[in-house]
Amino acid sequence: MESFADLTLPELARRFRDQSLSPAALAEHCAERHARYAETFGAYRAWNDELAAEAGLAADAFRRGLDLGPLQGIPVSVKDLYGVPGFRTYAGSPRALPEGWERPGPVIEAVRRQLAAVTGKTHTVEFAYGGLGTNPHWGAPRNPWATDEPRVPGGSSSGAGVSLVEGSALLAFGTDTAGSVRIPASMTGTVGLKTTAGRWPLDGIVPLSTTTDTPGILTRSVVDSAWAFRAIERGLGRTAAVPEIDVDGLRIGVPEDLFWDDCSPGVAEAVRQALSELEQAGARLAAAEMAGLDEAFGYFRKGGLTTPEFYRFLREELPEWLESLDANVRQRTEAASQAPAWEYLQLRHRLTELGRQAEALFERLDVLAVPTVAITPPTLAELEPEGAYPRINMLALRNTSIASMFGLCALSLPAGLDRAGMPVGLMLMAAPRAEEKLMAIGMAVERCLGAAYQRLGRAPMLRD
């Protein structure tokens, strides 16, 4: 069967429309990849046994001259927080949520109206509350880059990046509250887009933090990400124009505080090398001081806005789920019941203030660039000692949490490999609601550095 590994989403879409490729053939390819790697990597909580039929509908529509949108026929995996008809929603918990959580919100409806082929529901950390990708109820999908012992894939959208790397999906939907799209993208060598809070509606998605939750996407390249972003915007009734931008003259700010601390061997080096290549291509690098980094991360370590908002949701919507929570999730929520309301309101006010200061940086800079994640994806064994999980989880979330708390949009793309041979992400942060510009810059950076498979090669466990 033909290999689709190096074809971009716009190339696939063109081939669907000129009849040189059928969505049914692509769906068959994805199903074969899933059958081959399901046991090894465990990306999915539930696979769609009707995938061939959904792809057949898209193919038939093309044959009849019906073009319902760019995503028609594209195989899409969906994080198990989104409501999708025909799939129970578990949100990483040990039992299905009430049936009302199967109802799709506007984002999934935008996908379904375009006749995308949903491959299945991918695993998530329980209620998306964690950055490593582990789950005591369902296990952790295996990172395809780990050749020795199993390593985490990043979370909380833990199955999303894995579904792309194994080839069972070509676009993956995740959510990002403090890094849950960007961390798995970084750890699996894929691309992750965190939209600005409020850019895409949250209806039909199980919440973690009503303030900082954002729907997001993972793709195999920035070209795919920009194309999918425009397609989703179209499905939501908007037009997103991504301008042409060149690396030459690009103003890249590099904050030197916090983001570079305690990096695993090879992480900072890979990102510095990528930035050096961009500078050689004409980008202008400049130091950028972000006010309140340590202060903001200190708030995050104590639960930030997420803990009280998540606790309120469980108490009001799913009180019976409190007792079965993963211990790693429970210990982060228990303190919320004792926190006074004024602290929560004061924190919201302070983070808004810090966000405005961060936004002002983009009056003289186009983007900010830092490592997406400071650490090598840990092995499961490294998380077992008492106290190891909270420490490593917090370090994994540190860099990505800043963009979320400051209200920025952000993109992670592959920078290189660390000394353990695991992917390293370069995170670009842009002003709120500047996704179009961010996508354009991301594509310019990708043209300079090379797409993921060009810069990193294939994941070792798939080199056959």
The answer to whether 16 touches 62, Cβ cutoff 8 Å, is yes
Residue labelled with tokens 């090379």: 450
253-290 burial, b for 16+ CB within 10 Å, e for fewer?
A: bbbeebbbeebbebbbebbebbbebbeebebeeeebeb
Mutual angle of helices 388-405 and 341-360, in 10-degree steps: 60
Catalytic residue among 22, 77, 93, 156: 156
Phi, psi angle pair for 284, to nearest 5°: -105, 110
Q: Is 276 a catalytic residue?
A: no
Residues 6+ apart with CB under 8 A from 116: 58, 71, 72, 73, 74, 75, 76, 171
In the 8-state DSSP scheme, what is residue 19?
Answer: T
Strand partners, 430: 409
CA pair distance 151, 461, nearest whole angstrom:
12
The answer to whether 193 touches 403, Cβ cutoff 8 Å, is no
CA pair distance 400, 259, nearest whole angstrom:
9
Catalytic residue among 22, 77, 79, 264: 79
Tell me the residue ranges of DSSP E strands in 332-453: 367-371, 409-417, 423-430
Nearest to 80 by CA among 1, 132, 135: 135
152-166 burial, b for 16+ CB within 10 Å, e for fewer?
A: bbbbbbbbbbbbbbb
Structure tokens at 397: 């979330």
Q: Is 156 a catalytic residue?
A: yes
Expressed in angstroms, the distance from the first to the final Cα of the chain is: 15
Q: Is 79 a catalytic residue?
A: yes
Nearest to 141 by CA among 165, 171, 117, 119: 165
Catalytic residue among 180, 186, 221, 264: 180
CA pair distance 150, 201, nearest whole angstrom:
35
Structure tokens at 194: 């965190």
CA pair distance 285, 228, nearest whole angstrom:
29
- Positions annotated as catalytic residues are 79, 156, 180
